[in-house]
Amino acid sequence: MPFTIAIDGPAASGKGTIARALSLTFGFHHLDTGLLYRATGAKGGDPVAAARGLTPEDLARGDLRSAEAGQAASRVAAIPEVRAALVVFQREFARREPGAVLDGRDIGTVICPGAEVKLFVTASDIVRAGRRAAELGADPAEMLIQLRERDARDASREAAPMRPAEDALLLDTSEMTIEAAVASAVAAVRVGLDRRDGAGQ
């Protein structure tokens, strides 16, 4: 029986790092759903056609982690037809055996509302801007402006706004080490696995 872990949260909150760690810890498949939107935005042209025609090569582009690709992703993610085109891919991935970890902004609320474990990972915008600036070698003040613009767009969009699922565990990584954040997430997943296994007996 597949086991799905849904991880949501804003940019540079640590959700990708946590998702990759959970994937390695439990031997589950991992999908950074933001790459789907980054690749769609990076392709240019008609966003809906780009989303419907995504290929593995598109997801392997070397420029998808840039700030420009992140802004483009946020813009195309606000288009309902783009989101609809990518939903099926994400849901099919989520039910892969033995389990899957998906991180994004609407996994626990829209893509996988029935996920066995849901996490909403966040951090203060100043901390997140500092992390992203260090990652990209950019100006923290400029990163803060960009993150706040993106947060506002992601939270206010009509199609699948970013928000915690009602049953998600909130994990604020502002003052946590990576190790502590991962440990908290691993503990939550172990509880979910025990709950599933207990229900199946």
Residue environment code for 149-169, b if the CB has 16+ CB neighbours within 10 A, otherwise e: ebbebbeebeebebebbeebb
Contact of 38 with 69, CB cutoff 8 Å: yes
The answer to whether 17 is a known ligand-binding residue is: yes
Contact of 82 with 40, CB cutoff 8 Å: yes
Give DSSP secondary structure letters for 63-106: TTTSHHHHHHHHHHHT-HHHHHHHHHHHHHHHT-SSEEEEEESS
The answer to whether 2 is a known ligand-binding residue is: no
The answer to whether 62 is a known ligand-binding residue is: no
Q: Which residue has the tokens 């613009």?
A: 149
The amino acid that residue 115 corresponds to is A
The answer to whether 130 is a known ligand-binding residue is: no
The answer to whether 15 is a known ligand-binding residue is: yes
The answer to whether 11 is a known ligand-binding residue is: yes
The answer to whether 45 is a known ligand-binding residue is: no
Contact of 71 with 152, CB cutoff 8 Å: no
Contact of 101 with 2, CB cutoff 8 Å: no
The answer to whether 69 is a known ligand-binding residue is: no
The answer to whether 177 is a known ligand-binding residue is: no
| Distance from the Cα of residue 191 to its chain's centroid | 21
What dihedral do alpha carbons 82, 68, 132, 101 form, nearest 10°? 30
Q: Which parts are annotated binding residues for ATP?
A: 9-17
Q: Which parts are annotated binding residues?
A: 9-17
